[in-house]
Structure 1
């Protein structure tokens, strides 16, 4: 029997961003230079396939530093960033710490610190409990930074009289949702200080832009990524907002419910910034087994961003 035809619009950019590449490379380089075990505080990036792959190579993932035994094995901080208390604890315990925080997250940390030093109260637009938000809030003393998630949160803000305000944002948010919150903050507090440069990172913006372009053109859309990946969830939301009838966030081909994709003629595919291209290829191969697919790449931006490895890993350890 001949297979039904299926046009696939493959979003570009998609998949790994420079910060994710740097973080994964940091773990692999540490394993190469120092040998296993290499301890990693939290998931290095939010993708189970990547984490499991690194675990097989000798990475040991821990929730907190108290799970790391004394010794000279490296311990790496994830791309999402950590509160200041974490490197302080590592220093106190004389652990060999390597910080793989994405430089664009570090930029937000520095912004928050500068605002605090200048006497401003900092508002952080982000999602409660996300590791990046925990890390950013942990850059400042308790009470110096307030999390804003919703318009209702904006309405509840009661800064002290004469208190200057500034805001920063999580790097992986929905561009459109964040714009709504920023507009509400500026309407309520006209003097609020904005970031010098957009905090939502280039990769988040570019991937959402590609999905925004493709989603109205297809019958269904697959976002390759993990459920706990903020940027992948935002891609799903963007596709739904743009009117795509069926949007699924899927990690592996085995997760596909084929009944849902029975009658489609055009499929959009993208991947979150922590999803490797091998998973995109796996899902395309699975569709190729059932359909006569014709793949077209739809590019809406060029990316050439590169971040060097953490300083401790740029040269092999002596001896």
Structure 2
């Protein structure tokens, strides 16, 4: 077993350093197109949107957690958690968008990636084959006036999707990068397995997915480990850290590369609105379920407290009764001694 294995990490402060770092990484994998993902905070895990809504309800030995909390997957310790039902969410989204767009020709995986790009929380993570798009996602939302600490970093993740799949599907014949249009059956089949993370290419029919050069990783929630917490993937993952103090220097290049909200997302559409509505509906349903669990837990807790109080009261009565019996015996002994004298 490998010990002290870490993801390769570096810090850059200029665009030249960014391109130079990408070139060095690409040199290692000349025949593979690498994937990139930008995140505003280097401390954020690679956690899919749906798992960000997870709440822990039981500990590893099946005891109810008294205070319900958001699940921390980095320190999860085999806790049982609840999330909105992913299959029901996707079903509701498909039915809703069928009224405004033609989806009959799309398989379930294509609808899933469409819902991901329009804001529905899923078990997918977006990746792009365009490193400038990843850089835009990492830096565009950062307001320097709000973040003046030099020790805070944005991050661009880099992965080799082919090697990630080879690690996940180790021992299987086909370990290639899957395609959502060609391999939908295989993808859906693997989604039901207790595996880690695997990669598949997105369908580029949708303009938003096409502009973002959209590809995806799927993380199995039954496994409950993110890919940046599984050392079997570390050799094929890289972290490029960018200090907040130099973010403005990078933002100047976004105009040159025509990277802005309109060019990345196009205009907001009904698909966005429907995704928000479906999301809110299912999260509210989850919160109702959590409230019910909390109420049942509180009722159970009150019953236990009452039982403990009753037990203490009973024990006190028994103690009093024992004292009375002892006192009665002593009195009887004294009376007997007097009579015998």
Same fold (TM over 0.5): no
- Into which bin does the TM-score normalised by the smaller protein fall? under 0.3
The structure with more radius of gyration: 2
What TM-score does the superposition give when structure 1 sets the normalisation length? 0.22
